[in-house]
Amino acid sequence: MKAIICTKYGPPEVLRLSEVEKPTPNDNEMLIKVHATTVHVGDTKIRRFEPGLGPVRDFFFKPIMRIIIGFTGPRKKTLGMELAGEIEAIGKNVTLFKAGDQVFASTEFRFGAYAEYCCLPENGIITIKPKNMTFEEAAPVSNGGLTALNNLRKANIKKGQKVLIYGASGSIGTYAVQLARYFGAEVTGVCSTANLDMVKSLGANKLIDYTKEDFTKSSDNYDIIFDTVGKIAYSKRKKSLTNTGVYISALAMTGNTKLRVNDLIFLKELCETGKLRSVIDKCYSLDQIVEAHRYVDKGHKKGNVVVTVTN
Residue ranges of the domains in the chain?
2-142+278-308, 144-253
**For residue range 100-156, what is the model confidence (pLDDT) as tens digits?**
999 999 999 899 999 999 999 999 999 999 999 999 999 999 999 999 999 999 999
pLDDT band at 207 (very low <50, low <70, confident <90, very high): very high
Label the pairing between strands 186-191 and 162-166. parallel
**Angle in degrees, CA 170, 176, 181, rounded to 5:** 135
Measured distance CA(275)–CA(267) in Å, rounded: 9
Whether residue 44 is predicted with pLDDT greater than 70 in this model: the reply is yes
Portion of the chain with pLDDT greater than 70, in percent: 96
Q: What's the pTM value of the predicted model, to 2 decimals?
A: 0.94
Nearest to 86 by CA among 39, 38, 126, 41: 126
Secondary structure letter of residue 21 according to DSSP: P
Can you tell me whether residue 60 is helix, strand or coil? helix
- Topology of the domain covering 2-142+278-308: Quinone Oxidoreductase; Chain A, domain 1 (3.90.180)
Cβ-based neighbours of 98, under 8 Å, separated by 6 or more: 87, 90
What topology does CATH give the domain 144-253?
A: Rossmann fold (3.40.50)
Categorize the per-residue pLDDT at 254 as very low, low, confident or very high, splitting at 50, 70 and 90. Answer: low
Between strands 82-90 and 102-106, the pairing is antiparallel
